[in-house]
A and B are shown apart, each in its own frame.
Chain A
Amino acid sequence: LPNGIAAHADSHGHHLHHPALQHHFETLDQQHEAATLGMWVFLVTEVMFFGGLLMAYLLYRVWYPLAWSEGSLDLDIVLGGTNTVVLIASSLTMALAVRSAQTGAPSGTVRWLLLTMALGLTFLVIKFFEYEHKYELGHIPGIRFTETGPEAPHLAIFFSLYFSLTGLHALHMVIGVSLLSVITFMAWRRRFTPEWYTPVEMSGLYWHFVDIVWIFLFPLLYLVDRAGHFA
Chain B
Amino acid sequence: MAGHISPIRTYIAIFGALMVATIITVAVAFINLGTLNFPVALGIAIVKATLVILFFMHVKYSSRLTKLICGGAFFFLVILFTLTMTDYLSRGWFTSPRGTAAAGTQVTIEEPRPAAEGEPDTRAEP
Contact A28/B1 with A44-B72, A205-B57 known, Cβ cut-off 8 Å: yes
Given A44-B73, A96-B8, A223-B26, are A58 and B81 neighbors across the interface (CB < 8 Å)? yes
A212 touches B53 (CB 8 A): yes
Contact A230 B69 (CB under 8 A): no
Q: How many residues of B contact A (CB 8 A)?
A: 54
Chain A residues, CB < 8 A from B84: 55, 59
Using A59-B85, A88-B22 as known contacts, say yes or no to A96 and B11 having CB atoms under 8 A apart: yes
Known: A88-B22, A204-B56. 4 other contacts (CB 8 A): A58-B81, A91-B56, A94-B56, A227-B29
Convert A70-86 into 0s and 1s, putting 1 for each residue whose CB lies closer than 8 angstroms to a CB of B: 00000001000100110
**Docked CA distance A212–B70 (Å):** 13
Asked if A227 and B73 sit within 8 Å, CB to CB, the answer is: no
A-B contact count (CB 8 A): 154
**Interface size classification for chain A:** 35 or more
Chain A, interface SS category: helix
Q: A44-B73, A48-B73, A215-B48 are in contact. Are A224 and B37 (CB under 8 A)?
A: yes
Report which of A194, A205, A216 forms a contact with B49, defined as CB distance below 8 A.
A216
Tell me, in angstroms, the Cα distance from A42 to B32 when the chains sit together. Answer: 39
A88 is contacted by which of B19, B53, B70 (Cβ under 8 Å)?
B19
| Interface membership of chain B positions 18-48, coded 1 if the CB is closer than 8 angstroms to chain A and 0 otherwise | 1100100110111111000110011011001
